[in-house]
Amino acid sequence: MYVELQLRFLILLTTIQCIQCSDLLKGPLVNSNAGLIRGLQASDGDYSMFLGIPYAKVNESNPFGVSIPQERFEEIYEANNDSLMLCPQYKKSSNTTVGNINCLYLNVYVPNVASLQNRLPVMIWIHGGAFMTGSGRKLTYGPKFLVKQNIILVTINYRLGPYGFMCLDIPEVPGNQGMKDQLLALRWVKNNIEAFGGDVNKITAFGESAGAMSVDLHILSVHDIIFNKVIMQSGTALASTILVKPDKLAPIKIAKFLGFKTESVPEALNFLVTTDPNLIIAAVNSLDMLFKPCVETKFSNVEPFILKSWINANPKRVRGMPILLGFNNKERLYEYVTKPAEYFDNLHVIHDKLVQTFTFNESKLTKMENIIHHFYMGDRKISIKVRDEIGDFDSDYTYIHPIQKSIRHYIKNSPKNIFYYMFSYSGKRNFNKVTLNVTEGGAFHGDEIGYLFDASFLPEDNQEDLVIVEQMTTMWTNFAKYGDPTPATSEPLPVKWTPLTKNKWYYLNIDSELAMGSRPLNERMAFWDLFYETNKKEQKGYDRNSEI
């Protein structure tokens, strides 16, 4: 491997004594712009792992503010553990708070064939979790399926919840700190990945849910674009879950919950800076607070991330860029499939979603709610009997139609190609369904992750599942290599994936058999096209002065 040649050259240059030579040979060593980094040889494939590389540091005096780039390593950095890649968050399954504030690390996975003479495409994964939970750790996002396809995989961490997305419109906490963490990680990759055998001219940013929304927000942001291609799985910046108005009084409310009463945001922040992050996360959970990306106010000497609403923003920077994106056919059914009958008695999901997104008065809100109810459920009342229809409404409203709206925005700005998909496969590696212990048909939100990554809790004993793994990883990595998921048909990929056009909305249905189609869920999408066209100016965040 090329790192061994680097090692020999380094030994000659520095006349390292024999005892030091043997120490350096303990694992693959890379001489990067960030310094010397030593990793591990993987035991489950022909690749090296560089785990838990710090790319930035949280400012101890202001952990809610912008982080600081990691300085160059003075000694060899031992990248052999990613246990610190867990930012403060609430873990619903165990009803506990976990993580540590110093969590800005990334993992790099390098196939052994990578070298200075054989540079490989780079794929940077941004994890999902509603901007409140998740991590880029190997435990969840194991690399062996993807690196087998001869790409370098990087998984990154970023701050979450109040630490990553508190937006206060003050220079100390302007907002989008977690997005700026991601940007520092992307820049680190750009500056260092050549030393690992990566091709800086072939960088694909990809993510799922909040990770996909993040990718889209990077396109719409004011900063430099690091990547050449994008993959967005079940999310764009238009997803309804991201449309949360920032709470400028959040520090006061959290501090009050923890016993410190003040009406001053700076005083509350000073208190929270010295408070255990676990207590803050627990308070946020108890108060049912949400923190999301926001439109920032511009301040001098503060690098902004995004300064305008993205609701009808013009994504000009997709010009000439290959795009791959899509959704799962039963995205939000997971929210309802395990609920008992009584849960539906007081469910007002249509009303709640509309209030979240629109500024309707009461009369119009009732009218719009009835129209939507009748479209999905006819004259039937909301009950467990229409659970699937409720799931369809929520899926369309939250993820699927927003993705379609984003596609229209992209088309107007002439990307190189747009490859559209619907993931419908139901197997034993469906990420969310296995977690919920559900066997319903179709694919829930996040279910495709198990066919791209080696999550530690998913089985590998089903041959049909492994076929989907082979197909998904081949298409995704082909896209990273060539900008085309199926440059040629083959045994694992017998179907040519045709990109959509302005007038022909082709998509690939990923199921037990791959199949091309046109305009997925067409009737439901047409309904929402008309709904948004009729009510677009009543959307929250809509800028009448910047219509596309």
d(CA 81, CA 538): 49
Give the model's pLDDT for residue 27: 87
Tally the residues of the chain: 548
CATH number where 514 lies: 3.40.50.1820
Judged against a pLDDT cut of 50, whether residue 17 lies above it is answered with no
pLDDT tens for each residue of 198-239: 999 999 999 999 999 999 999 999 999 999 999 999 999 999
Q: Is 209 a catalytic residue?
A: yes
Which residues lie across from 29 on neighbouring strands?
Answer: 38
pLDDT tens for each residue of 250-273: 999 999 999 999 999 999 999 999
- Whether residue 335 is contained in a domain is answered as yes
- Whether residue 277 is contained in a domain is answered as no
- Whether residue 384 is contained in a domain is answered as yes
- Whether residue 13 is contained in a domain is answered as no
Give the model's pLDDT for residue 13: 35
Query: pLDDT band at residue 547, thresholds of 50, 70 and 90?
Result: low
d(CA 116, CA 200): 12
Q: What is the mean pLDDT of residues 393-400?
A: 97
Q: What is the mean pLDDT of residues 275-300?
A: 96
Judged against a pLDDT cut of 70, whether residue 15 lies above it is answered with no
Judged against a pLDDT cut of 60, whether residue 159 lies above it is answered with yes
Query: pLDDT band at residue 298, thresholds of 50, 70 and 90?
Result: very high
SS3 8: helix
Query: pLDDT band at residue 93, thresholds of 50, 70 and 90?
Result: confident
Q: Residue 324 in contact with residue 419, Cβ under 8 Å?
A: yes
Give the model's pLDDT for residue 7: 46
Give the model's pLDDT for residue 540: 84
Judged against a pLDDT cut of 60, whether residue 2 lies above it is answered with no
Q: What percent of the chain has pLDDT over 70?
A: 94
Rounded mean pLDDT of the chain? 93
- Whether residue 270 is contained in a domain is answered as no
Between residues 309 and 517, which one has the greater pLDDT?
517
Give the model's pLDDT for residue 441: 82
Q: What percent of the chain has pLDDT over 90?
A: 88
Strand residues in 95-222 grouped as ranges (E): 96-98, 105-111, 120-126, 152-156, 198-208
d(CA 539, CA 327): 23
The Cβ of residue 428 has, within 10 Å, a number of other Cβ atoms equal to 15
Q: What is the mean pLDDT of residues 103-127?
A: 97
- Whether residue 398 is contained in a domain is answered as yes
Alpha helices by DSSP H, 248-334? 250-257, 265-273, 277-286
Q: What is the mean pLDDT of residues 532-541?
A: 89
Give the model's pLDDT for residue 545: 58
- Whether residue 265 is contained in a domain is answered as no
Question: Of the listed 32, 48, 209, 309, which one is catalytic?
Answer: 209
Between residues 446 and 301, which one has the greater pLDDT?
446
pLDDT tens for each residue of 35-52: 999 999 999 999 999 999
Q: What's the number of domains the chain is made of? A: 1
Give the model's pLDDT for residue 277: 97
Q: Nearest-CA neighbor of 390 among 341, 327, 432, 326? A: 341
Q: Which domain holds residue 345?
A: 42-246+290-546
- Whether residue 365 is contained in a domain is answered as yes
Give the model's pLDDT for residue 463: 95
Q: What is the pTM of this model?
A: 0.94
pLDDT tens for each residue of 447-487: 999 999 999 899 988 999 999 999 999 999 999 999 999 99
